[in-house]
Amino acid sequence: MAAAAGAEPEPGEPSAEDFVYSEEDFVLQGAGWGAEPGSALSRFDRALLEGWSDRMERGLFRYRLGPLPTRVLPGPMRLVAQLNVQRGTERRPPQAVHSLRQPFDPQAFNFTRLRPGEVLLRLRRAGPAAPALLLVAINASPLERGHVLLLPEPARGLPQALTAPALRGGLEAVLLSAHPGFRLGFNGLGGCASVNHLHLHAFYLSHPLLVESAPAQLLCPPHRLSLLLAVPAPAFLFYAAGPAGLEELSRDVCRAAEHLVDAGLACNAFATRGDPPRGAAGGGGRGLRVLLWARRPGFGAKAASAFNVALCELAGYLPLPAEPLYRDITEAEALHAIREQLPPETELLRLGGDLARLLAG
């Protein structure tokens, strides 16, 4: 089936909803963490979550997801650990990745093979300069309630390499949500990507993360690039105060990601509402933080049951597949596993200088 290419649903199967939006739909200051549950929902949130719950009731997921045991690990990094046994045992086996520039393989599983009912929304912004159509589909092996995939024009068969239009569309989706815990992420080839077909993850996690608020060291003014060190996994930080800066930010992030691949490094990315690079004390309210991690590439198929370090773990959110690991893991153990995947700080500083010159020039 080719739902992504416009296949018609079978009789009785739900169809995707056209979701047309404009800048008036952007929630410039999302609800804070003190808001009542359910009160911090926008038109986009309601459409996504209602469609997601409908597909869960229809049995389109690989498992039924209920409330998940969740705890914040003791320690300054405030890591959020969550037990999700079924994702570890019942998800589709990840594809083997052998190269940072592996071409798209139409014979392997890809998102044109989704059932039409798995697609929830067709996101389209009104206006002549809008990003391309973005499909919102369920992740059949969800991390959390509302875990979806954002698919930029899947019929084009693009490999899993981040593009500026795809990132800009994803960041606009973050601005369409009023929920403080709606996050966006990307796993690159060699960075725990499971499918080599361009996609981003989006999910709701009702816990704040340190990466939203930790102050950063400015590398390239004005706020175009900073280095975030006092977090679980040091990262390059890009920031936009609002929708007007998303196009430039998206280009900058993708130029930086391409530079990392040229240097033989894999990458992951994560976007969330957050404070300006210098922290909340700098004033100005919250905007969008985009983190880009450089990491040592890992090739071959990732183990479904292991503690894999992908975008969630790098951001400080630990989905764990086994109860003993969830019960016993410490902050020190988690940080050791995470930071083993990263270059040393001296190399990050050198890369930061290279990226600052690249973006400034």
CB burial of 138-148 (b: ≥16 within 10 Å; e: otherwise) equals bbbbbbbbbbb
Question: From the candidates 179, 199, 201, 223, which is the catalytic residue?
Answer: 199
CB 174, CB 271: distance < 8 Å? yes
Give phi and psi for 294, each to the nearest 5: -95, 135
CA distance 320 to 306: 8
Q: Which residue has the tokens 């206006």?
A: 127
CB 289, CB 210: distance < 8 Å? no
CA distance 203 to 227: 25
CA distance 310 to 231: 15
CB 252, CB 263: distance < 8 Å? no
Neighbours of 311 (CB within 10 A): 26
199 given a catalytic annotation: yes
Residues with active-site annotation: 199
